[in-house]
Amino acid sequence: MKSTTSVQTRRSSRRRLSRREFVQVGVAATAGARLLHGSPTTQPQDTAVIQIWLGGGPSHIDMYDMKPQAPVECRGVYRSIATNVAGLEINELLPLQATRMDRLSVIRSLTHPSNDHVTGTHAMQTGHLGPTSKSPEPRHPSAGSVTARLRGANVRGMLPYVHIRPDLPTQLYSQQFDAAYLGQEFAPFTVTMPFPFYNADQSVSVRDLRPLDAMTVDRLRERVALSQALTDGKERSFGGAEGLPLSTQHQQAIGLLTSAAGQSAFDLSQESDSVRDRYGRNTWGQGALLCRRLVEAGATFVTLNTDSSSNMWDHHGNLKQGFDRQLPAYDQMLAALLDDLVECGLYDRVLVVVCGEFGRTPRMNKHGGRDHWGRAGFALMGGGGVRGGQIVGATTSMGEEPASRPVSPADLLATVYHVLGVDTSEQFVDHSGRPVSVLARGEPIAELF
């Protein structure tokens, strides 16, 4: 990996590394290991994925599969508005998306058999049913980890898989975005953003990748050289990246911390105020902007998790109160992302996927909310060469289940892998030594191509 160091001033005094700097180097070393192991053996195509994850289970009936003719206890409290796609109506709080639905296709018949958060999340992230909330250990690698393993980054020096999530303690659902038996070198590089999302933060940054000063980088290089000299080439392995020598990881860490691709991509201050304002001065808006910067710099799979730990979309009660706050910010963020991808010339090679782990019950409950419902849900897909403006499948009159063209999580991921050029018949060896295919079933959604 080539790295460059931009030096404005050099401090004359030498000092020890601070605890924060040691943590930064450790994080970057792990990331560097993923860079090394994630490098593809063949030249990949340059497609990429931005996944907007609506953790908790967004209501299909109240967003993209509205039922205005259904009884009041089913149709909910919102009215639907027309979009620029004939026959497609969406929630009235999504007016910006309504004028851009020709860039997105709506899958209205997404379905799987579980109402469990962990099971649903695992299914949507891996294409396999598996763990439950009582036994949450992931059984299969997420699509991002598979991509890191089989595709690597689009640009050498960038991370292949990044997971942007709220700055909350890791809980059960976050595990389902991990690498499972592929190993931690293919786990996502995790970026934490301020919580809650609506707290305006005009200085969003990635704490673990703030640049070290020039003297610190020089000292790190000296230490690597000294380590090589003292060990006489007998380098020790470090951390969870099996087979990677310590000095190689340090070189990767230094490169990530100082390279234009690794450092600049995370620096939102390089964007104009007008661009940052367009996305929205909140965690979701700035997170979506970071997604664009990362794929532009060469990341292959980036997930913006709008909430995995506190189930932001899990509206068992007060759905209207939640949506009144969430949907305008979500609408602004997604519309800005689509426009920006087009303006940057990235739309045709970057696939945007929006989904959660399941939909919500057809009937409102006594608390003014809806409960878990795996039998029906939605997903949006746009860019990356897929056709926009398509409506795939339909649910019954009250949104209980698919009435036509059921789409499984495996079908959705087969579509993602098709865009990425990943062979879903590729096999890995799981913890028990058994060969497991990327997907055991699932076909790309033909209507989108």
Question: What domains are defined for the chain?
Answer: 15-43+207-265 (no CATH), 45-204+280-448 (3.40.720.10)
Q: Which residues share a beta bridge with 437?
A: 427
CB atoms within 10 A of CB 72: 8
What is the distance between the alpha carbons of residues 287 and 269, in angstroms, rounded to a whole number?
Answer: 13
What is the distance between the alpha carbons of residues 342 and 185, in angstroms, rounded to a whole number?
Answer: 32
Q: Any alpha helices (H) in 113-186, and if so which ranges? A: 117-126, 143-150
With contact defined as beta carbons under 8 Å apart, do 135 and 416 qualify?
no
Contacts of 231 (CB under 8 A, 6+ apart): none
Residue ranges with strand state E in 66-218: 80-82, 89-91, 105-110, 161-166, 189-193
What is the distance between the alpha carbons of residues 168 and 290, in angstroms, rounded to a whole number?
Answer: 19
Contacts of 259 (CB under 8 A, 6+ apart): 1, 2, 3, 4, 157
Q: Which residues share a beta bridge with 377?
A: 110
For residue 267, which amino acid is it? D
Residue ranges with strand state E in 247-308: 301-305
| Distance set, CA 329 to CA 104, 323, 400, 420 (Å) | 18, 10, 28, 29
Q: Any alpha helices (H) in 344-443, and if so which ranges? A: 409-420
What is the distance between the alpha carbons of residues 19 and 21, in angstroms, rounded to a whole number?
Answer: 5
For residue 137, which amino acid is it? E
DSSP letter assigned to residue 166: E
| Distance set, CA 149 to CA 7, 180, 181, 244, 414 (Å) | 34, 12, 11, 16, 16
Per-residue confidence of the chain (449 residues) as pLDDT tens digits? 443 433 343 333 334 444 444 445 455 555 544 444 444 433 347 999 999 999 999 999 999 999 999 999 999 999 999 999 999 999 999 999 999 999 999 999 999 999 999 999 999 999 998 888 888 888 999 999 999 999 999 998 788 999 998 877 756 678 899 999 999 889 998 888 877 787 665 455 555 555 555 556 566 566 656 766 776 555 444 433 344 444 444 454 555 665 656 778 888 989 999 999 999 999 999 999 999 999 999 999 999 999 755 568 999 999 999 999 999 999 999 999 999 999 999 999 999 999 999 999 999 999 999 999 999 999 999 999 999 999 999 999 999 999 999 999 999 999 999 999 999 999 999 999 999 999 999 999 999 99
What torsion do the CA atoms of 148, 151, 152, 153 make, to the nearest 10 degrees? Answer: -110
What is the distance between the alpha carbons of residues 261 and 239, in angstroms, rounded to a whole number?
Answer: 24
Which single residue is written with the structure tokens 């789409």?
407
The model's pTM: 0.85
For residue 147, which amino acid is it? T
Handedness of CA 419, 425, 429, 434 (dihedral sign): positive
Q: Residue 40: phi, psi to the nearest 5?
A: -70, 150
With contact defined as beta carbons under 8 Å apart, do 392 and 108 qualify?
yes
| Residue 436 host element (H or E) | strand 435-437
